[in-house]
Structures are given as structure tokens and as C-alpha cells.
Chains A and B, each alone.
Chain A
Amino acid sequence: MLQGSNWGRWLFLSVFLCIWQIAAYLLESNQLPGPLAVLQSLWSHLTEGDLLVSIAVTLRRVILAFTIAMLAGILVGFLMGRFPLIDTILDGVLIMGLNIPALVVIILCYVWFGLVEAAAVAAVAINKMPLVAVTVREGVRAIDHQLLQVGEVFRVPLLRRLIHIYLPQLYPYLMAAARSGLSLIWKIVLVVELLGRSDGVGFQLNTFFQFFDITSILAYTLAFVFVIYSIESLLMRPLENHLTRWRS
């Protein structure tokens, strides 16, 4: 079954690449370079340009914003799920945070704090944090109180209770928040870089846009998608499999 689904995936990818290459060949336009041209561009940016440096800079922002958003979101979500009073107080702010467009937050951060690194990272983190908080709040609400009673009756120390009774119940929610967070954050980081930074993938994309260099835009996009996909498949998925191994 697994082999079948892999086979289907590769077939789809091959067909997609063929159609892309044929369309590019027929159109003969700079606006739609073929996959081979994109790969050549990717190779030249990799060997001669500053693709790796740009990716490293962007990745650093992604990791920083991701960490801040996750920590703050977990704390707020936990408190809101655990204490109804805090939930009532913060619910309105949370709904507002969920609905304010990412672009508005970015512009406001740049206007209020200047075009600095901290403002860029904060803008991304603020955009993502409400989503993490909502997911964790739902996780805390769904905690099985009967299992908590076990910790209470047997007087299990607080730290052990947290690690072995609370957290495992929150893992699915934390993983969902982390995975959706990663995919959302890197997109916002590119916008932040495009609007107010002088380095990173977003900044480079803006430069290519000035020159209508679609080939380089696609090459950079491909490279960064590959990096995020690698994080997802080499870190997130194995971590999730490890944490939920008891389900199998």
C-alpha cells in the first residue's frame, strides 16, 4: 500500500514536470521558464551566488519567530484552557489576533519599532502566536481529568506529573501547532524580509522581482521549499512518530 502511494506520488510529479517543460517550450517566454532552466539557475545560485547565505539568514528568523510563537502560544493557550477567567479576559484579544491580516501586523511593527531585526521577528511571532494559543487551549480543554486524578491520588510530584501525564496528552496539539506553524511562519518571514530587511530569501525575491527574473524566483522558492520539507520529514515527522509510538 505504501509502495503504491509512493509510486503514485512519483508518477504525478513526473507528469507535472513534463507538462511544465512542454508548456515552457511551447510558450518560449521568460515568464515561464522550464524546470530544467530553474534547476540550472538553482545550481548557479548555489555555487556562485549567495543562496545558502540567504537561506541561512531566513532560516534563523524562522527558527527564532517559531520558538517565540510556540513558547508564548503554549503559555497563553495553557492558561486559557486551564483557567476560565483568563480565557474570558483574553478570548477577545485572541480572536482579534487571529483575524488581523499578517501584513497589518508587519507594517505596524516596522512603524512602531523601526526597520530592525527584532521588529521583523516579533511581527512574525505575533502573527503565529494566536494560532498556537487556540490549538493548545483546545488541547488543555480535552485533557482527561481521570488521568490527572491518578497523579493526585498517588501524589506524583508536580514535575513528573507535568512530563508524564499532562504533556503526552498535549503532544498531538503541540505537533499540529508546530507543523502548521512552520509552514505559515516561513511564508510570513518572506513578506517581512521583502518589506523591511536587506538580506534573506524574501529580500532576494524582491530583487529578482525588480528584474522580472522569474527563473531565479522559482529557483529560490524551490530551494527554500526543499529546506522546509527536509525539516518536516527529518525532524517533525520522526519526532511525531516517536511521541505517538504507543498508538501503533
Chain B
Amino acid sequence: MNGCRVKIKDKSFGEMSVIQNLEFEILSDAFISLVGPSGAGKSTLLNILSGLDAEFNGSLEWVDGGPGCVSYVFQDPRLMPWLSVRENIELVMKDANDDSSWIDHLLHRIELNERADAFPGQLSGGMQRRVALARAMAIKPDILLLDEPFSSLDAPTAASLRELVLDLWRDHSSAVVLVTHNLNEAVELADQILFLSKGPASIIHQETLNPSRIDPDVVRDPDNLTRDLLNCQPEILSGIAVVDGRNYKSANKR
């Protein structure tokens, strides 16, 4: 996949417009974070990107003709409770028999290879999220959509899941679109942040965190960036969660 250009002129539910004049491009190896307050239409946008919602005025233009393969990690894991961990992953694959080594690899990566036969109800919340992530990666997507996958997790579990997301992104050539209302999360993970206005959603600010793609000499420190944003652009951060005093692992994610 060479990318997808998202052009949404309008998305409404009845009289209420949720998204208006929203345009951005998803490059093939981008890690984009969409940050906006609750109710900004972030999940609606992911539903459009995933193909769940086709009723909008606009287009998704795939550079190579597409449509590309899109997978989705929902806000809650949405695993089938009656299927084992392995069966949940197999469910979405075209031919699970041929790809059993790929499933083994994923199970190993999420460190659940020894719990492959467990049912989701026997796993912790963090483990279930990891399975949902493995399921999403199982189809080797062109674009991986993440809808606040770290919310409602305790801090250490969320941190290890973020680490896993970054690892998988580094290893597999998928573009990632992460939706969050937490600026720290966006800064830690993404190399491009799009700030959305409170509904109807449109992009009010863009920030490139890892400009080394454009200029290898420039690397911005995420701590400073968060501080800059807090100091200089308070209006765009209204309603966006920021936790002070966070230590970020690295400015260079890749």
C-alpha cells in the first residue's frame, strides 16, 4: 500500500454534523495519532476508515487503487468469549491452517503462547487487549486502527501494551492510526499528531513529532513538545488529557 487520502466533507447523524471538512493522508508506514476531546467524532472517523460506516459525504482514495486491508482494535477487546485465544485469531484469518506459524509467532509476541487454549474470560483485561492486538495484526493490515486501546487499563499494563504496539509497528509495515484523548499517549507513540476540534470534527492543528523523516538533523524531544503545546496552544488542548511529569522513553520511535 502506498497510502490513503482521507477526504470527509461531512458526516452527520440526522441533523447533527459530527465531522466536517476533514482531510489527511495516511502514508504507508506512518504512525498517526488523532487527538481530540471526548465527543469529537474520533470513533466515527475510525468506523469510516474501517468500512463499518459507509454513509458519509467524501471519499477514501487509495493511492494504489485499493481498497487496502484495514484492521481495527476496538476500545474494548471484543473477543468472542466462546473461542479460545488461538481461535479468536484464526477467526479473522483467510486460511488459518496455512498460517499456523504466523499465529504462533503472534502468540509468542504477545507472550500468550502458553495460554493459547484459554478462553478470554480466563484472561486479565491487559491480556485480552493483547489478544485483540494480535488478532488485528494477524491479517497483516495495510492500516491498523486503534481506538483508545489503552483506556481503562492500569498504568503499567497500558505502558507494556504501548510498548507492544510500537514493537509490532516497527516489525511489520503497517500504517497505524491511533485515536486518543490523551496527549501523552499520542506524543509517546505517534510521529504525527492531528488535533481534532470538538464536534463537528475537523483538523485544527498538526504536529510532526519525528521530523527526522523530513530533516534527519531535527529530532524533537517529546517532553518539550508536550510542554510547548501546553504553553503555546492551550486552546487546542481544551478537553484533551495530559498527565504532567511523564517520562517518555525515546524521541526516536523507529
Residue of A at shortest CB range from B121?
Answer: A246
Residue of B at shortest CB range from A163?
Answer: B91
Q: Are A156 and B121 in contact (CB under 8 A)?
A: no
Q: Is A165 an interface residue (CB 8 A)?
A: yes
Q: Is B168 an interface residue (CB 8 A)?
A: no
Chain A-chain B contacts (Cβ-Cβ < 8 Å), number = 45
Q: Are B83 and A164 in contact (CB under 8 A)?
A: yes
Consensus secondary structure, chain A interface: helix
Q: Which of A9-17, A88-96, A143-151 contacts B (4 or more CB under 8 A)?
A: A143-151
Q: What distance in Å separates the Cβ of B91 from its nearest Cβ neighbour in chain A?
A: 6
A109 to B74, CA, bound (A): 53
Interface string of B66-95 (1 = CB under 8 A from A): 000011101010101111000100011000
Known: A164-B83, A164-B91, A247-B121. A154 touches B78 (CB 8 A): no
Residue in B50, B76, B87 with the greatest tally of chain A CB atoms within 10 Å: B50
Chain B residues contacting A168 (CB-CB under 8 Å) are 80, 82
Partner of B81, one of A149, A156, A243, A246: A246
Q: Is B234 an interface residue (CB 8 A)?
A: no
Q: Are A146 and B76 in contact (CB under 8 A)?
A: yes
Q: What distance in Å separates the Cβ of A159 from its nearest Cβ neighbour in chain B?
A: 12
Residue of A at shortest CB range from B145?
Answer: A153
Consensus secondary structure, chain B interface: loop
Partner of A154, one of B82, B87, B119, B139: B139
Number of residues of chain B lying within 8 A (CB) of chain A: 20
Chain A residues contacting B81 (CB-CB under 8 Å) are 246-247
Q: Are A156 and B92 in contact (CB under 8 A)?
A: yes
Q: Are B72 and A153 in contact (CB under 8 A)?
A: yes
Chain B residues contacting A146 (CB-CB under 8 Å) are 74, 76, 78
Chain A residues contacting B78 (CB-CB under 8 Å) are 146-147, 149-150
A153 to B70, CA, bound (A): 8
Interface string of B38-58 (1 = CB under 8 A from A): 000000000000111000000
Q: What distance in Å separates the Cβ of B102 from its nearest Cβ neighbour in chain A?
A: 15
Q: Are B76 and A153 in contact (CB under 8 A)?
A: no
Q: Is A152 an interface residue (CB 8 A)?
A: yes
Interface residues in A165-179 (C-beta closer than 8 Å to B): 165, 168
Q: What distance in Å separates the Cβ of A151 from its nearest Cβ neighbour in chain B?
A: 8
Q: What distance in Å separates the Cβ of A248 from its nearest Cβ neighbour in chain B?
A: 9
Interface string of A105-132 (1 = CB under 8 A from B): 0000000000000000000000000000
Q: Are B52 and A246 in contact (CB under 8 A)?
A: no
A152 to B54, CA, bound (A): 12
Chain B residues contacting A164 (CB-CB under 8 Å) are 80, 83, 87, 91
Chain A residues contacting B135 (CB-CB under 8 Å) are 154
Chain B residues contacting A153 (CB-CB under 8 Å) are 50-52, 70-72
Chain B residues contacting A149 (CB-CB under 8 Å) are 52, 74, 78
Residue of B at shortest CB range from A149?
Answer: B52
Residue of B at shortest CB range from A144?
Answer: B78
Q: What distance in Å separates the Cβ of A232 from its nearest Cβ neighbour in chain B?
A: 23
A75 to B71, CA, bound (A): 32
Residue of A at shortest CB range from B118?
Answer: A246
Chain A residues contacting B121 (CB-CB under 8 Å) are 246-247
Q: What distance in Å separates the Cβ of A76 from its nearest Cβ neighbour in chain B?
A: 25
Q: What distance in Å separates the Cβ of A167 from its nearest Cβ neighbour in chain B?
A: 9
A–B pairs, 21, beta carbons within 8 Å: A146-B78, A147-B78, A149-B52, A149-B74, A150-B74, A153-B70, A153-B72, A154-B72, A154-B91, A154-B135, A156-B92, A164-B80, A164-B91, A165-B91, A168-B80, A243-B82, A246-B82, A246-B83, A246-B121, A247-B81, A247-B121
Further pairs besides A147-B80, A247-B121: 10, Cβ < 8 Å: A150-B80, A152-B52, A153-B71, A154-B72, A156-B91, A168-B82, A243-B82, A246-B81, A246-B82, A247-B81
Q: Considering the complex of A and B, which 9 residue pairs feature the smallest CB-CB distances, nearest first?
A: A154-B92, A246-B119, A168-B82, A246-B82, A153-B72, A153-B50, A150-B78, A146-B78, A164-B91
